[in-house]
Structure 1
Amino acid sequence: MATAAAATQPKVDFGEPTTPYAAYAGIDTLHSLLRPRSTEPAETSFIVATQVMELLFDLLRHEWTQAQQALRNDDLPGATAALRRGLGVQDVLVSSWDLLATMTPVEFASFRPYLGEASGFQSYTYLHLEFLLGNKEERLLRLYAGSPRVHAELTETLRAPSLYDDAARLLRARGADSWAAAYTDPRHHELALLGELLLDVAERVTRWRQRHLSAVKRAMGDKPGSGGSSGLSWLRKAAEQDVFPEIWEARNVL
């Protein structure tokens, strides 16, 4: 009787200073970026959460940009595929707040002085997302006056149509004069599905903002933000702002 073949063992000798895995994903560089400045253990979670969110912001920007390009090409399946991939990224972003959800005020206060004026408000990757959503505020470009590449990229996103603008253009190009028409006319069923998908995006943006508000409230209360904002009141205003309000408003007439 034939014996079962021995399990193949993974290769362990590549003749290189590092493994192909580490080289491909830049693992050594990635881990070298974790540099706490205090002796507070909770600071490590704070830095990791920040870095993870930044990577996810960039991935989400990629997916939304892909969706925009597909909408401009009248490729609704391509747009919905990109938006659905983005929903997964958004879900992980919302869950990322779990890393900070239990940070106590004493823990945060112990390393907050090392932040100086650093604030998540200054994230240009996140600002790209806000601009893509249509929440555009030109004065914020001044934050990046000293970084020509970032300033140019943000200016381009600011001037260009938003994700919603591209969806609305496709809506009109396909003969629907409003989202209410898309929802009530069977000929525009695909557009109604797009509207629902955009609301999936919108709800996740709101959840992320709400988790941000909750994490800050728990860690530092109603103190002013390190970047100069009013803290909770500023975050609360953002959390209460509807994303894609025209699609929400269509509910009022359906």
Structure 2
Amino acid sequence: MSDQDAPERAHTDFSHSLSYGDYLQLDTLKAAHRPITGAHDEHLFIAVHHVSEVWLELIVRELRAAMTLLHGGITDTPLKMLTRVVRAQEQLTNAWEVLKTMTPADYLQFRHAFGQASGFQSASYRTVEFLLGNRRAVLLRPHEHRPDLHDPLEADLHAPSLYDLALRLLAARGLPVPREVLERDLTQPPVLNEAVLDAWLTVYRAPDTYWDLYELAEKLLDVEDNFRRWRFNHLTTVERTIGFKAGSGGTSGAGYLRAALNTVLFPELWEVRTRL
């Protein structure tokens, strides 16, 4: 090993500068990890959910940034941001694989400790759903006790979704998107519209002419594809752990999650494959 590669050359005095732990506030991060019971697997359960919340916050940040640019008619940088969303979604999905190492007996050792707390109440996850267009006003209720969480979610409920902005971009490029779609009730999830489907068919039949819109459509499908995979892994993890018992937050548990698999965020982008 040459002298310049020796570990002794590394900076070691952090009395007047930020260290790795200082910069990342690792003491604060680790202090938030507080199991309630002595069960071995409660540590795993909390760690997986903490990590998932961090990834969700990154996804929210990237989605909002991409949406701001799409609102201004810019498509190139949002594609990079949506690619980052897709990669973060992959990490979220992989987190279930770690949690699946916990058996039903392991889970029951600490399940009683967190009462009615549930991932159903995750404000970050709900924000992702709202930004992607899966919306129902009733989903705001778990956050009514926290205006700092409830008010931004309510604003998202009434604002254009990622897909709404994509459709407005189609219209701005001269593709015939009906007024009733552009001015629809934004609090409701999208439903398949034949005129919108025709507009996307135009894009898909002439990708060289509409390359950025074509790329945007495919990136949206990547996002929804990974969204579905996350939900499916969530479902199988729940079925492996608690079977068909009710969920801790009051939903039917696996039944609720299985029904959610039928959600379609960007209906025309899936149907366009059949019609081409």
Q: Name the residue aligned to 1:7.
A: 5
Q: Deviations over 1:152-186 (max 9, x none)?
A: 11111111000110011111211233111110123
Q: Aligned partner of 1:179: which letter?
A: W
> Could you tell me whether the CA contact under 8 Å between 2:76 and 2:212 is conserved in 1?
no
Identity of aligned residues (%): 39
How far apart are residue 189 of structure 1 and its match? 2.2
Q: 2:227 aligns with which of 205, 217, 222?
A: 205
Q: 1:215 aligns with which of 237, 247, 272?
A: 237
Query: Quick one: distance in 2 between partners of 1:107 and 1:19?
Result: 40
Q: Name the residue aligned to 2:174.
A: 175
How far apart are residue 218 of structure 1 and its match? 0.4
The structure-2 alpha-carbon separation of the partners of 1:247 and 1:108, relative to structure 1 and needing over 3 Å to count, comes to same
Bigger drift between 143-152 and 68-77 goes to 143-152
Q: Name the residue aligned to 1:192.
A: 214
How far apart are residue 201 of structure 1 and its match? 0.4
Structure 1 gap ranges (5+):
none
TM-score normalised by L of structure 1: 0.94
Bigger drift between 21-30 and 185-194 goes to 185-194
Structure 2 gap ranges (5+):
177-198
> Could you tell me whether the CA contact under 8 Å between 2:66 and 2:81 is conserved in 1?
yes
**3-state secondary structure, aligned to 2:274:** coil
Query: Quick one: distance in 2 between partners of 1:45 and 1:130?
Result: 26
Give structure 1 regions of 4+ aligned residues with deviation exceeding 6 angstroms: none
RMSD: 1.6
The structure-2 alpha-carbon separation of the partners of 1:180 and 1:6, relative to structure 1 and needing over 3 Å to count, comes to closer
> Could you tell me whether the CA contact under 8 Å between 2:140 and 2:150 is conserved in 1?
yes
Q: Name the residue aligned to 2:184.
A: none
The structure-2 alpha-carbon separation of the partners of 1:182 and 1:105, relative to structure 1 and needing over 3 Å to count, comes to same
How far apart are residue 20 of structure 1 and its match? 2.2
Q: Aligned partner of 2:100: which letter?
A: A
> Could you tell me whether the CA contact under 8 Å between 1:53 and 1:96 is conserved in 2?
yes
Query: Quick one: distance in 2 between partners of 1:199 and 1:14?
Result: 47
Q: How does 1:155-170 map to 2 (within 5 A)?
A: 155-170=154-169
